[in-house]
Amino acid sequence: MDGWRARIGLIYPSSGKRDADFFRLAPPGVSVHVARVPFAGRGTLESIGAMSQLDNLLAAARLLSGLRPACISWADTSGSFMFGADGDAKQVEAIRAATSVPASTTSTACLAAFARLGVSRVAVASPYLSEVNDQLRTYYQAHGLTVVRLLSLELENEWDIHRTPREKVYALAKEAYSPEADGLFIPCTDFEGVNLIEVLEQDLGVPVVTANQATMWHAVRLSGVLDRVPNSGALFGLSLS
């Protein structure tokens, strides 16, 4: 994987196992490089908050900056929405200030994705515990999105989130969708989603945004690359503006 067009640096939890999603979503000539932050593997607000402290993110970002990346993104959904409506913006600014590199987070990317897709009423198919789902709802509603329906598997263990079968995620997404929604969201960067985007968009007739898809779309666009990536949903047909 040769980054002759752009190199993207991703900060990813130590338990994350979906690196292949990010590689698949990289256009030709774009390389992806991953640095890890320590994570205990329990999907509680306390554990996620400990992982997502700025010291951890900045240590990983500084390592990635040696690659001279075009963008550095904090590739974690809950770790970028749990600190309030402007928590992700503070993370972005801290990474940018520490590295002099354009930065993003998964939640920042998802907000940009919903805006570009014209989604204002979203259904959510989540793996998270209730306390994390509450933070998700609060964050997105603070940014003007209405969460019309949220269904969750209520999983605490990171291994259980990652190992959830594709058919179970598909069924959850179908059940979570409401005709009142104009988009579907599948959060968590260690949860299945990327491989279901195309079929869900066909089945539901609305745009589908997943954590890894939005993370890479935003990072790729911030890197100045405008390619559409096949089988990656309506989002990858759009520019940033």
Q: What is the CATH number of the domain that holds 84?
A: 3.40.50.12500
In a domain, 238, yes or no: no
Q: Are residues 16 and 82 in the same domain?
A: yes
In a domain, 190, yes or no: yes
Other Cβ atoms within 10 Å of 165 Cβ, number: 9
The number of domains in the chain is 2
The pair of three-digit structure tokens given for residue 201, joined into one six-digit string? 């968009």
In a domain, 240, yes or no: no
Reading the chain (241 residues) residue by residue, the pLDDT tens digits are 689 999 999 999 999 999 999 999 999 999 999 999 999 889 999 999 999 999 999 999 999 999 999 999 999 999 999 999 999 999 999 999 999 999 999 999 999 999 999 999 999 999 999 999 999 999 999 999 999 999 999 999 999 999 999 999 999 999 999 999 999 999 999 999 999 999 999 999 999 999 999 999 999 999 999 999 999 999 999 999 9
In a domain, 18, yes or no: yes
Q: Are residues 63 and 114 in the same domain?
A: no
Q: Are residues 126 and 75 in the same domain?
A: no
Q: Are residues 18 and 29 in the same domain?
A: yes
Q: Are residues 163 and 202 in the same domain?
A: yes
Q: Are residues 73 and 150 in the same domain?
A: no
In a domain, 149, yes or no: yes
DSSP E strands in the chain: the ranges are 6-13, 30-37, 71-74, 103-105, 121-126, 146-152, 183-186, 208-210
In terms of residue numbers, what domain contains 57? 6-108+212-233
Please give the pLDDT value at position 227: 95
Please give the pLDDT value at position 1: 60
- Start-to-end CA distance of the chain, whole Å, equals 28
Q: Are residues 29 and 73 in the same domain?
A: yes
In a domain, 225, yes or no: yes
